[in-house]
Structure 1
Amino acid sequence: MKLFGKIVIGILLYLLFMIMLFPARVAVALMPLPSGVQLGGVSGSLWHGQADVLQIGSRQLERLSWQLQPSSLFTGVVQAQWQLGSRASAVNGKGIISWSSAGIAARQLRLDAPVGFLVGNRRLPFKTVLSGDISLLLDEGHQGQPLCGGLNGKLFLNHIGLNNQFGDYPLGNMAFSLQCVKGQVQLATDDEKNAIGVAGTLLFKDQLQMEVNGRIRRTDGQSRDLQNSLGLLGKPDANGNYPLQYKGRIPGL
């Protein structure tokens, strides 16, 4: 190997090690973070670092760690394995996320959080207060137009409760499958995945719009307040199913 080639390789290796050892706190200080996002107690390197606190608006998360995969850079992709909190934390999760010219993608993602944390300080219609927990399990998903290009996973609503000016509605546990339909995020469920007789789909669109197409029937798992409210949805069909229809902006957003 000629001397020039050895010098070039030496410089490239030097630059690679400099980047790998670059302090995470300096990188975060130079990075243009989105508005309302702050990282505190940052330590480690750019490639393998952590932050004691992640602040997103009024929400505070604990212990975010990440590890970048250098080999992915040769394919034009920035890929990182991340972990948030621990299983003892109210909000916790982990997964693999990547950035490329095609957009953002994620796989092997798990996220657990209380409903109240996700709703935050938003005012929901009819003075509604939600309780319970949400678990998201995402096998894979990637960005597309207008929202997604692919999506495969499940969403679990655990011990969900809804209270508003009309009554108390314990909804229990519900499970949804996640898919990407014509670039939009679809959640689908049937009455075998919940005890309150709900089946149908929720379609999340761009511009914070959503569309609900489903039905609900009377079951023994429904509270009395819920059973008494079914008539407000319209007339039941021949099978006793009441329509669940909505098209408009996502409530509270």
Structure 2
Amino acid sequence: MNRAVVRWAAVAAVLFVFFLLLTVPARHAWGWLGGGQLAVQGIEGTLWSGRVAHLANPAHPVFPVGPLAWHVRPQALLLGRLEYQVFVQSGTGGGELRVGRGLFGGASVTAAHLSVPAADLAQGLHLNLLTLAGEFQIDIDELRLSADGSGALPSVLEGVLVWRDARVVQPSPLSLGQLRMQLGLREGQVVGALSDEGEGGSLELSGELSIGADRQYRLDALLKPRATADAPLREALGLLGAPDAQGRYRLQYSGAL
């Protein structure tokens, strides 16, 4: 038999099996893919396109998710990648993202645009003595994991986290404006460069949050009240100690996740 015919027949067989797998009901594939560790309700559809009504991790029930829907992006298949467009909701927050994996590369997340109310985040993290307001918006341009799955940190990370209309409600009302953390990698660490967006906010912020592969983190920030800052904010900053020559208060903290 002609070698070219055999080669194309093999390619056709592989593609047939691949597309056949994508039509497998999602409820059957869930167990095969190791999803048994998660609590799932209302799963329907196929690996090609489907949805889950509710999804949670019993071991870490911080942010229950649902509904969550997905569908394959056919154009990515032409580039040798299996890529999904995912739509997710969690409480009153949610958004969309692309999740994919190449033939020889690791898993990736791109074009992610997600939001979560600050109050929900504080509640999910069990910050019982702290009530927050505003909204956290996270935009991930690119996040990639190593192909062999090794390493606790991503191999590529580009994104930004913004706390819009940042406010502390309890234990003392504080208006912080709009705060920003630019996400990236440096010397084997995840690094978040802290700043304020200066849009009428009463707090000037600069500094850095770093997280290592050993899950140790370090926060080093400088905070300064603007002329518009109210008395509660100035009093709260005063608890950090004496300001420097520029009127900035230093906040340093470290620990493990």
TM-score, normalised with respect to structure 2: 0.79
2:65 counterpart SS class: strand
Segments of 5+ residues of structure 1 without an aligned counterpart are none
Summarize the alignment of residues 18-57 of structure 1 with structure 2, pairs less than 5 Å apart: 18-33=20-35, 35=37, 37-57=38-58
Amino acid aligned to 1:133: E
Summarize the alignment of residues 68-83 of structure 1 with structure 2, pairs less than 5 Å apart: 68-69=72-73, 77-83=81-87
1:60 counterpart SS class: coil
Q: CA–CA distance in 2 between the matches of 1:53 and 1:76?
A: 31
- Identical aligned residues as a percent: 25
- Greater Cα shift, 167-176 or 42-51: 167-176
2:155 counterpart SS class: strand
Q: CA–CA distance in 2 between the matches of 1:34 and 1:182?
A: 36
Summarize the alignment of residues 51-200 of structure 1 with structure 2, pairs less than 5 Å apart: 51-57=52-58, 58=61, 59-69=63-73, 77-85=81-89, 90-99=92-101, 103-124=106-127, 127-143=129-145, 145-165=151-171, 167-193=172-198, 195=201, 196-200=203-207
- Greater Cα shift, 74-83 or 176-185: 74-83
Q: CA–CA distance in 1 between the matches of 2:105 and 2:11?
A: 30
Amino acid aligned to 1:130: L
Q: In 1, are the aligned partners of 2:184 and 2:191 still within 8 Å (CA)?
A: yes
Q: CA–CA distance in 2 between the matches of 1:116 and 1:34?
A: 30
- Greater Cα shift, 147-156 or 71-80: 71-80
2:220 counterpart SS class: strand
After TM superposition, give the deviation of residue 175 of structure 1 in Å: 2.1
CA offsets 1:139-173 (integer angstroms, 9 cap, x no match): 112236441322222211022222454x2222232
Segments of 5+ residues of structure 2 without an aligned counterpart are none
After TM superposition, give the deviation of residue 136 of structure 1 in Å: 0.5
TM-score, normalised with respect to structure 1: 0.80
CA offsets 1:35-60 (integer angstroms, 9 cap, x no match): 3x233222221122222222344443
Q: CA–CA distance in 2 between the matches of 1:209 and 1:12?
A: 44
2:223 paired residue number? 216
2:30 counterpart SS class: helix
CA RMSD of aligned residues (A): 3.2
After TM superposition, give the deviation of residue 112 of structure 1 in Å: 0.9
2:18 to 16, 19, 32: 16
